């Protein structure tokens, strides 16, 4: 299926690994021009180098960074059609999961909202005028299953993502008549470096459970969360949903939430 993305310009945040990297790769395969932003590049992102890819190093804890990245995309490729707000997770200095709601300080709450909510708000604010100049476009916000299934071990993260999901609905109503579609993708547990890296969440759980990282990823967590598929979500599976929502082929889809979670969420 032709997703009609050839020549369209996209900004992808948190683009150096995991879901963001998979989104960048898929957009490039569909012929899009991509500005990928992250604090630093990775060998995996560097391997995608070509005339349709520009990496812009940026720290989205800096309130000026989102607008600067959007401006670079317009300068480099002449406009903007797609914004994927993927940057998120624990900001620098904050460790997840937590043991309790009581373990998060005010400063950690502020940092979590700065990275997971306000950076996306600033990117959207910078992107909308350029999307309107093109007659519309698509914004895809990466939320989380924790936005709808609250967890005391990720309470501040879940609250920030719930706010992002709320904003998606508001924006879809205000800017839909002007051609801008805004949607949410909510992943569950995804096989990303946050889980798999040395010292990552899988290692933390393995230490507590007296087992090894592979067992945590392949058995312990899927069983603990009662995942219908029995396995973690792969980054590419999330990226496929993101790119479909970014495509004009999803022209009547706005204000929607696409859940890609392996059956984590059980409620209607």
Would you please indicate which residues are annotated as catalytic (active-site) residues? 157
Residues facing 70 on adjacent strands: none
Question: 168 CB contacts (<8 Å, ≥6 apart)?
Answer: 139, 141, 143, 182, 183, 184, 255, 257
Distance (Å, whole) CA 15 – CA 239: 11
Distance (Å, whole) CA 162 – CA 246: 21
Decide if 83 contacts 118 (C-beta within 8 A).
Answer: no
Distance (Å, whole) CA 79 – CA 202: 41
């Amino acid at each position: 299926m032709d997703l009609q993305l050839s020549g369209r310009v996209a900004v992808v945040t948190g683009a150096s690994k995991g879901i963001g990297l998979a989104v960048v790769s898929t957009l490039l395969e569909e012929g899009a021009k991509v500005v990928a932003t992250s604090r630093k590049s990775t060998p995996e992102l560097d391997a995608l180098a070509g005339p349709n890819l520009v990496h812009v190093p940026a720290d989205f804890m800096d309130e000026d960074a989102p607008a600067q990245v959007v401006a670079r995309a317009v300068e480099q490729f002449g406009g903007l059609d797609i914004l994927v707000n993927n940057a998120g997770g624990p900001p620098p200095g904050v460790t997840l999961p937590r043991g309790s709601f009581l373990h998060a300080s005010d400063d950690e709450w502020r940092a979590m909202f700065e990275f997971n909510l306000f950076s996306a708000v600033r990117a959207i604010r910078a992107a909308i005028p350029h999307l309107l100049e093109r007659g519309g476009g698509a914004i895809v916000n990466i939320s989380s299953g924790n936005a709808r299934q609250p967890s005391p071990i990720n309470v501040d993260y879940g609250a920030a993502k719930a706010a992002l999901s709320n904003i998606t609905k508001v924006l879809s109503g205000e800017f839909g008549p002007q051609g801008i579609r805004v949607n949410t993708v909510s992943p569950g547990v995804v096989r990303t470096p946050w889980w798999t890296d040395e010292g990552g969440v899988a290692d933390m759980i393995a230490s507590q459970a007296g087992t090894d990282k592979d067992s945590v990823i392949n058995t312990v967590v899927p069983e603990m969360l009662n995942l219908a598929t029995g396995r973690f979500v792969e980054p590419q599976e999330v990226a496929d949903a993101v790119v479909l929502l970014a495509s004009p082929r999803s022209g009547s889809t706005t204000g929607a939430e696409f859940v890609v979670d392996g059956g984590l969420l059980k409620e209607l």
